[in-house]
Amino acid sequence: MTEEELINEGFEKVYVDKEESGNKDDYYYYAYELAIDTSIITCANDEAKNGWYAYSDIDLSGRITDIEDVRILKQLIEKWSISHKNG
């Protein structure tokens, strides 16, 4: 998955400076807010040497490496969110 694909899917770049993180370098990652307190988050740019991966903050145990899977996850959670709002 590429940065361009993430941006095209509506992900926002989140910058974290080294002072804030305590790391030796600044870094960034991408996030897509699906609903209140529910997001899809990518690895940091320094971890993306072999490609970007994403995970849902619902379950942090699995990596998503295919942009099509990210699209499906987005659609499902957005659908569930709408259904939940409508009762």
Per-residue pLDDT at 87 exceeds 60: no
Structure confidence by residue, pLDDT tens digits, 5-47: 999 999 999 999 989 888 899 999 999 987 767 789 999 999 9
The residues spanned by each domain of the chain are: 3-85
The model's pTM is 0.70
Structure confidence by residue, pLDDT tens digits, 37-56: 778 999 999 999 989 998 87
Q: Which residues contact 10 (CB under 8 A, 6 or more apart)?
A: 32
- DSSP letter string, 30-81: EEEEEETTEEEEEPPGGG-TT---EEETTEEEEEE--HHHHHHHHHHHHHHH
